[in-house]
Homo-oligomer: A and B are copies of this chain.
Amino acid sequence: MTVRGDAELIARAGHLFAGARHEFVCAARDLDTWSQPEAREAISGRMHADGTAGFVVRKLLTPSALADEASRRHLNEITAAGGRVRISSAPLPHETIIIDRRVMILASPEAPGPREFTVTTSPALVSGVHALFLAAWDNATDLAAYLSGDRPHLDDDNRAVLRALGAGYTDETAARGLGLSVRTYRRRVAELMATLEADSRFQAGLRAGELGLTG
Protein backbone atom coordinates (compact mmCIF):
# COMPACT_ATOMS: atom_id res chain seq x y z
CA MET A 1 0.00 0.00 0.00
CA THR A 2 1.38 3.36 -0.97
CA VAL A 3 0.26 6.78 0.18
CA ARG A 4 1.37 10.19 -0.94
CA GLY A 5 2.15 12.97 1.44
CA ASP A 6 2.09 13.25 5.19
CA ALA A 7 -1.59 14.09 5.42
CA GLU A 8 -2.65 10.97 3.59
CA LEU A 9 -0.28 8.88 5.69
CA ILE A 10 -1.95 10.09 8.83
CA ALA A 11 -5.39 9.57 7.36
CA ARG A 12 -4.76 6.09 6.09
CA ALA A 13 -2.24 4.76 8.57
CA GLY A 14 -2.82 6.86 11.64
CA HIS A 15 -4.63 4.01 13.33
CA LEU A 16 -1.48 1.93 13.05
CA PHE A 17 0.41 4.43 15.11
CA ALA A 18 -2.37 4.62 17.64
CA GLY A 19 -2.65 0.84 17.71
CA ALA A 20 0.97 0.21 18.62
CA ARG A 21 1.07 -2.19 21.53
CA HIS A 22 4.54 -3.49 22.17
CA GLU A 23 7.15 -1.79 20.15
CA PHE A 24 7.68 1.22 17.99
CA VAL A 25 10.98 1.46 16.22
CA CYS A 26 12.05 4.12 13.82
CA ALA A 27 15.17 4.64 11.79
CA ALA A 28 15.54 7.95 10.09
CA ARG A 29 18.00 10.56 9.07
CA ASP A 30 16.22 13.28 10.99
CA LEU A 31 12.92 14.14 12.57
CA ASP A 32 10.94 15.50 9.66
CA THR A 33 7.98 13.19 10.03
CA TRP A 34 7.71 14.11 13.62
CA SER A 35 6.91 17.61 12.77
CA GLN A 36 3.51 16.10 12.02
CA PRO A 37 1.66 16.64 15.26
CA GLU A 38 -0.85 13.87 14.71
CA ALA A 39 1.64 11.05 14.45
CA ARG A 40 3.63 12.37 17.31
CA GLU A 41 0.60 12.66 19.50
CA ALA A 42 -0.49 9.13 18.71
CA ILE A 43 2.81 7.69 19.79
CA SER A 44 3.52 9.85 22.74
CA GLY A 45 0.01 9.22 23.92
CA ARG A 46 0.61 5.53 23.78
CA MET A 47 3.89 5.89 25.57
CA HIS A 48 2.37 7.75 28.40
CA ALA A 49 -0.67 5.53 28.56
CA ASP A 50 1.26 2.33 29.09
CA GLY A 51 4.00 3.82 31.13
CA THR A 52 7.16 1.80 30.72
CA ALA A 53 5.46 -1.57 30.95
CA GLY A 54 6.02 -3.58 27.81
CA PHE A 55 6.03 -0.75 25.36
CA VAL A 56 9.33 0.06 23.79
CA VAL A 57 10.13 3.03 21.64
CA ARG A 58 13.41 3.07 19.77
CA LYS A 59 14.65 5.75 17.50
CA LEU A 60 17.78 5.44 15.48
CA LEU A 61 18.96 8.68 13.95
CA THR A 62 21.94 10.27 12.33
CA PRO A 63 23.83 13.13 13.93
CA SER A 64 22.01 15.54 11.64
CA ALA A 65 18.89 14.96 13.71
CA LEU A 66 20.64 16.88 16.47
CA ALA A 67 21.23 19.91 14.34
CA ASP A 68 18.48 22.13 15.66
CA GLU A 69 17.33 22.89 19.15
CA ALA A 70 13.74 21.79 18.61
CA SER A 71 14.82 18.30 17.61
CA ARG A 72 17.09 17.94 20.60
CA ARG A 73 14.27 18.99 22.84
CA HIS A 74 11.96 16.47 21.29
CA LEU A 75 14.51 13.70 21.67
CA ASN A 76 14.96 14.56 25.28
CA GLU A 77 11.23 14.29 25.75
CA ILE A 78 11.30 10.86 24.20
CA THR A 79 14.02 9.63 26.49
CA ALA A 80 12.31 11.20 29.46
CA ALA A 81 9.19 9.23 28.59
CA GLY A 82 11.16 6.00 28.52
CA GLY A 83 11.94 5.86 24.81
CA ARG A 84 15.42 5.00 23.67
CA VAL A 85 17.30 7.09 21.19
CA ARG A 86 20.54 6.21 19.49
CA ILE A 87 22.73 7.95 17.01
CA SER A 88 24.33 6.13 14.14
CA SER A 89 27.31 7.43 12.28
CA ALA A 90 26.24 5.53 9.19
CA PRO A 91 23.73 6.95 6.73
CA LEU A 92 20.19 5.86 7.40
CA PRO A 93 17.10 5.44 5.29
CA HIS A 94 15.03 8.50 4.97
CA GLU A 95 12.48 6.96 7.22
CA THR A 96 11.67 3.47 8.33
CA ILE A 97 9.11 2.69 10.97
CA ILE A 98 8.25 -0.70 12.33
CA ILE A 99 5.34 -1.15 14.66
CA ASP A 100 5.00 -4.24 16.82
CA ARG A 101 7.10 -6.15 14.32
CA ARG A 102 3.98 -6.43 12.22
CA VAL A 103 3.71 -3.26 10.21
CA MET A 104 6.42 -1.40 8.43
CA ILE A 105 6.26 2.07 6.97
CA LEU A 106 8.95 3.28 4.64
CA ALA A 107 9.36 6.70 3.17
CA SER A 108 10.44 6.86 -0.43
CA PRO A 109 13.83 8.15 -1.29
CA GLU A 110 14.06 11.88 -1.60
CA ALA A 111 12.13 13.12 -4.60
CA PRO A 112 10.37 16.26 -5.70
CA GLY A 113 6.76 16.61 -4.64
CA PRO A 114 5.05 15.14 -1.61
CA ARG A 115 6.78 12.25 0.10
CA GLU A 116 5.52 8.78 -0.58
CA PHE A 117 5.11 6.21 2.11
CA THR A 118 4.85 2.50 1.66
CA VAL A 119 3.02 0.49 4.25
CA THR A 120 3.79 -3.22 4.44
CA THR A 121 2.67 -6.05 6.66
CA SER A 122 4.41 -9.00 5.03
CA PRO A 123 5.98 -10.89 7.93
CA ALA A 124 9.04 -11.83 5.91
CA LEU A 125 9.75 -8.25 4.97
CA VAL A 126 9.02 -6.84 8.36
CA SER A 127 11.03 -9.32 10.36
CA GLY A 128 13.92 -9.16 7.94
CA VAL A 129 14.08 -5.41 8.14
CA HIS A 130 13.59 -5.55 11.88
CA ALA A 131 16.66 -7.73 12.23
CA LEU A 132 18.66 -5.35 10.09
CA PHE A 133 17.43 -2.52 12.22
CA LEU A 134 18.68 -4.31 15.31
CA ALA A 135 22.07 -4.81 13.72
CA ALA A 136 22.30 -1.13 12.99
CA TRP A 137 20.92 -0.29 16.43
CA ASP A 138 23.42 -2.46 18.20
CA ASN A 139 26.28 -0.54 16.82
CA ALA A 140 24.93 2.93 17.36
CA THR A 141 25.67 4.98 20.44
CA ASP A 142 23.18 6.08 22.99
CA LEU A 143 21.96 9.63 22.73
CA ALA A 144 23.07 10.49 26.22
CA ALA A 145 26.48 9.04 25.57
CA TYR A 146 26.67 10.77 22.24
CA LEU A 147 25.61 14.17 23.40
CA SER A 148 27.15 15.15 26.64
CA GLY A 149 29.42 13.57 29.14
CA ASP A 150 30.62 10.36 27.70
CA ARG A 151 32.54 11.85 24.88
CA PRO A 152 34.06 14.50 27.03
CA HIS A 153 35.72 17.45 25.49
CA LEU A 154 39.36 16.85 26.07
CA ASP A 155 41.75 19.74 25.94
CA ASP A 156 45.16 19.48 24.37
CA ASP A 157 46.81 18.51 27.63
CA ASN A 158 44.51 15.60 28.13
CA ARG A 159 44.99 14.53 24.58
CA ALA A 160 48.73 14.55 25.00
CA VAL A 161 48.43 12.41 28.09
CA LEU A 162 46.11 10.09 26.24
CA ARG A 163 48.58 9.71 23.44
CA ALA A 164 51.41 9.00 25.85
CA LEU A 165 49.35 6.38 27.63
CA GLY A 166 48.28 4.89 24.34
CA ALA A 167 51.88 4.68 23.21
CA GLY A 168 52.60 2.43 26.15
CA TYR A 169 55.20 4.64 27.79
CA THR A 170 55.89 4.39 31.48
CA ASP A 171 54.97 7.42 33.51
CA GLU A 172 58.61 8.32 33.76
CA THR A 173 59.15 8.30 30.02
CA ALA A 174 55.86 9.96 29.24
CA ALA A 175 56.46 12.74 31.74
CA ARG A 176 59.88 13.45 30.32
CA GLY A 177 58.47 13.46 26.83
CA LEU A 178 55.82 15.98 27.81
CA GLY A 179 58.20 18.09 29.83
CA LEU A 180 56.33 17.44 33.06
CA SER A 181 57.29 16.03 36.38
CA VAL A 182 56.14 12.53 37.07
CA ARG A 183 53.95 13.89 39.81
CA THR A 184 52.11 16.21 37.49
CA TYR A 185 51.84 13.65 34.77
CA ARG A 186 50.19 11.30 37.21
CA ARG A 187 47.89 14.04 38.30
CA ARG A 188 46.85 14.42 34.71
CA VAL A 189 46.29 10.75 34.34
CA ALA A 190 44.17 10.77 37.47
CA GLU A 191 42.14 13.65 36.09
CA LEU A 192 41.70 11.86 32.81
CA MET A 193 40.54 8.77 34.60
CA ALA A 194 38.09 10.79 36.60
CA THR A 195 36.77 12.31 33.40
CA LEU A 196 36.31 8.88 31.90
CA GLU A 197 34.88 7.56 35.13
CA ALA A 198 37.42 4.81 35.15
CA ASP A 199 38.65 2.97 38.21
CA SER A 200 41.75 1.61 36.58
CA ARG A 201 44.00 2.55 33.74
CA PHE A 202 42.75 -0.45 31.86
CA GLN A 203 39.22 0.81 32.15
CA ALA A 204 40.29 4.23 31.02
CA GLY A 205 41.92 2.71 27.98
CA LEU A 206 38.81 0.70 27.30
CA ARG A 207 36.61 3.75 27.42
CA ALA A 208 39.01 5.75 25.31
CA GLY A 209 39.02 2.98 22.75
CA GLU A 210 35.26 2.62 22.75
CA LEU A 211 34.81 6.32 22.31
CA GLY A 212 37.33 6.45 19.53
CA LEU A 213 39.44 8.94 21.38
CA THR A 214 42.61 7.62 19.88
CA GLY A 215 42.75 10.18 17.10
A residues adjacent to B (C-beta < 8 A): 2, 27, 60, 88-96, 106-109, 116-118, 120, 122-125, 127-140, 165-170, 198-212, 214
Q: How far is the CA of A102 from the CA of B74 in the complex (A)?
A: 35
Q: How far is the CA of A122 from the CA of B1 in the complex (A)?
A: 10
19 contacts between A and B (CB under 8 A): A27-B132, A90-B136, A92-B135, A93-B131, A94-B128, A96-B128, A109-B124, A109-B127, A132-B133, A165-B200, A168-B200, A169-B199, A201-B201, A203-B205, A206-B206, A206-B208, A206-B209, A206-B214, A209-B210
Stoichiometry (number of copies):
2
CB distance from A78 to the nearest CB of B (A): 20
CB distance from A136 to the nearest CB of B (A): 4
What are the residues of chain B within 8 A of A206 when measuring CB–CB?
A: 165-166, 205-206, 208-209, 214
What are the residues of chain B within 8 A of A139 when measuring CB–CB?
A: 88-90, 135-136, 138-140
Q: Which residue of B lies closest to A205 (CB)?
A: B205
Q: Are A204 and B205 in contact (CB under 8 A)?
A: yes
What are the residues of chain B within 8 A of A93 when measuring CB–CB?
A: 127-132
CB distance from A86 to the nearest CB of B (A): 11
Nearest 8 A/B pairs, CB to CB:
A209-B209, A205-B205, A168-B199, A139-B139, A93-B131, A90-B138, A135-B136, A90-B135
Q: Are B106 and A124 in contact (CB under 8 A)?
A: yes
Q: Are B138 and A89 in contact (CB under 8 A)?
A: yes
Q: How far is the CA of A123 from the CA of B106 in the complex (A)?
A: 10
CB distance from A139 to the nearest CB of B (A): 3
Please judge, given known A-B contacts A92-B132, A128-B106, whether A210 and B200 are in contact too, CB under 8 Å.
no
Q: Are A118 and B109 in contact (CB under 8 A)?
A: no
Q: Which residue of B27, B118, B123, B211 is within 8 Å of A124 (Cβ)?
A: B118
CB distance from A177 to the nearest CB of B (A): 14
Q: Which residue of B165, B169, B203 is within 8 Å of A166 (Cβ)?
A: B203
